[in-house]
Amino acid sequence: MTVGVVVIVLFLAFAVVAFVHDYRAGIPQAKAAAKSAQTARIECPHCGVAGRVATKPVKVKRGISGGKATGALLTGGVSMLATGLSRKEGATAMACGNCGMHWTV
């Protein structure tokens, strides 16, 4: 086996781990409860009515370039690589019950 093959195998292994991690993290739990507590204070930027805005935490997945993953491998940053591959941006989907406007923050 060449070094290149080893790198590819490792990359695939981490990709699988990241996929499983993403799948689990996609289920909102404690964070969702914390978000819902803020709902009453949210004011709709469109109609200005507060307390009618429903929120839902969402995850926006961001891809990672192969070059970045390879760089992490070369530097031995295993945990960094796992984190990088599973990196998601937390966002909140908002929906106003008064005017029906939808937006994401």
Q: Which is nearer to Zn ion, 15 or 101 (CB)?
A: 101
Q: Which is nearer to Zn ion, 47 or 58 (CB)?
A: 47
- Separation between Cα atoms, residue 95 and residue 25, nearest integer Å: 22
Q: Under the rule (CB under 5 A), what is the footprint of Zn ion?
A: 44, 46-47, 96, 98-99, 101
Q: Which is nearer to Zn ion, 29 or 104 (CB)?
A: 104
Which structure tokens are listed for 68? 């970045």
Taking CA atoms, 79 is separated from 18, 21, 43, 44, 59, in Å, by 11, 13, 39, 40, 21
CB 102 to Zn ion: min, Å:
10
CB 94 to Zn ion: min, Å:
9
Give 61's strand partners: 88
